[in-house]
Structure 1
Amino acid sequence: MSQPDLSPPSLVQEAFARAPQALLLIDPVADRLLGANAAACQLLGGDTEALGAHPFSHRLGASLPLWVSFTDEALNRSPAWSDDLVVLDLKRQPRHVEVQAQALAGGRLLLTLVDRQKAEQRRARADLRRQHRRGQVGWERVEQVFERIERQNQLILGAAGEGIYGLDAEGRTTFANPAAERILGWSSEDMVGHDAHLLFHHTHADGSHFPVQQCPIHASFSDGQVHRVDDEVFWHKNGEAVPVEYTSTPIFEMGRLVGAVVLFRDISERKRAEQQLRDALAEVESLKQRLELENQYLQEEITAEINHREIVGESQAVAHLVRQIALVAPTDANVLISGESGTGKELIARAIHAGGVRGGGR
């Protein structure tokens, strides 16, 4: 009597499809994804058709060399296991996974993927349950520890003079401290759960539209870098622009970029002080130019009068001589100067020359 078939194809297919672990069937040589169960589709954020639309290497990114080495090991010494591989979901977000590979007929591989973050969370919960069962740690005490940490964090956020708010990977506000509420005029209830860029960072200081794609805060979500800016504005709830400087810092959880925290400062007073300084410097420059013009005018007056000052004397004869010089100096008439040697004829000639058209003095 023949043995019944305990694993008909339909049952195997159902087991593959409904397995709680993420399962992928791949052809590493052809670089194709042949199948993915529901758990794998959930992990990678798409259905089998979308996941298989591109070569499997499209899902590997910068970790492709590690995957090549791993699949080679799996094909030659199956099964193989690794916990340092990364696979990209449909949004190109990295998923750090543990992978077990089993070689199948035809050079194919069955991959079992475990999200490392979730696995570590499960292990942590299991460890807490074990400790609880052993009486080492009570759940009440664990809750008290977390409550104390939460209170400390709230006190720190409340005491900070700078505005602080958090964002998730979609740009939605997750929290805002009292300083942020005071500076922006929005309450936490107004901000939490809403797109921060659309709420108060949507427009440049000159009134032009500020596309979110150009926002340094949102750049932290894609490049994972810290961005510092000191010449932008946030918009108060009453519609007024608030000059700010801010630092946007990405947040990573288990190696995955999950959001950002933004620390900002109202620099309105500093901007006003800088403008007052510029105005004062402009006024000083204006006074400097006026003084230079007045100095030039006085120099010209001094030049015009200096020739007469070389003729020293208070007598009527000297005064009469100075008046005669002033009369003839502006003309181009010939002037005869007579007198005995040593009486100052040359001095008078210089005065006439310098004070008239002959010397360009007037």
Structure 2
Amino acid sequence: MTALSILELVRVTEETDARGALDNARDLAAHAEKWGYRRIWVAEHHNMPGIASAATSIVLAHIAAGSDTIRVGAGGIMLPNHAPYVIAEQFGTLARLFPGRIDLGLGRAPGTDQLTLRALRRSPEAADNFPQDVLELQAFLGPVASGQRIQAVPAAGTAVPLWILGSSTFGAMLAAEFGLPYAFASHFAPDLLLEALEIYRSRFKPSEQLDRPYAMVGVNVVAAGTDAEARRLATTQQMSFADIFRGARGLSRPPIDDIESYWSPMEKAQAMRMLARSIVGSPATVRSGMEALVAETGADELIVVSDVYDHATRLRSFELIAEAGDAGSKGSI
């Protein structure tokens, strides 16, 4: 099996406040490194009461301080929301605090709504500068050039590894052009997965950071003792997707016995399209599902979302996933 990593949603639930969500993320990292997971990432989201990772670099410092070996990173920073210089300072500082453990995944989407984007003091047109901003950020993380008047202190020379994140072919083309590793968000936008991977691999240009294509695939996985129990646990995420379509981004809800009683036929169709790549079931079901996904995509790494409501039950899901996938058994970057 390929390498396994975790995308941590830092979910605030109906029974856990933001501090509890942050501490649960830290606790998950400490367990995950023992189970063989390669990295744990969190994503930048704003104005979402059910997600506590808005101040992403601070969240990463909290997680990294509670673990020893697992790589910790952004999956991702929505670069159009920020000056590249500031992100270089933040992640360069993280790299000084936790050397050899920090990743910086970069996305082009705002990670929020247009009203909140204005509160961030960023223009919607900022996304048009994404390729240039990636190069600017990369330069600030590199060695100081002769005559360089502006340095990102203490980031200069840290060479924090950059990743391009995407849910369309644009990110695939950019990652290929810049010679960077690529992570596709098939855990919520699976439609273009295979096309994007083909574009990335066929157009890849070696770089100083990476000499060959390296593709990570996002996937929702919920594991439990039986298929039936896993399907019940998965209703937490299904309800979250239904709530998005209703414009009600609230707290994470405990699982229910009958998801059909919660969503409408239209909400179900929309959610199941976005969750089409999900793998839900017993360890045997999860193993076969992940093996099939890797065989189909050639993924170098899977980054797993296991959106389970109860923290102890979620830990068990990740433990079963690691066992089913032989976490840590392949090469790395």
The verdict on a shared fold, with TM-score over 0.5 as the criterion, is: no
- Relative CO higher for 1 or 2, CA cutoff 8 Å, sep ≥ 6? 2
TM-score normalised by length of structure 1:
0.18
Give 1 or 2: higher strand fraction.
1
TM normalised by structure 2 equals 0.19
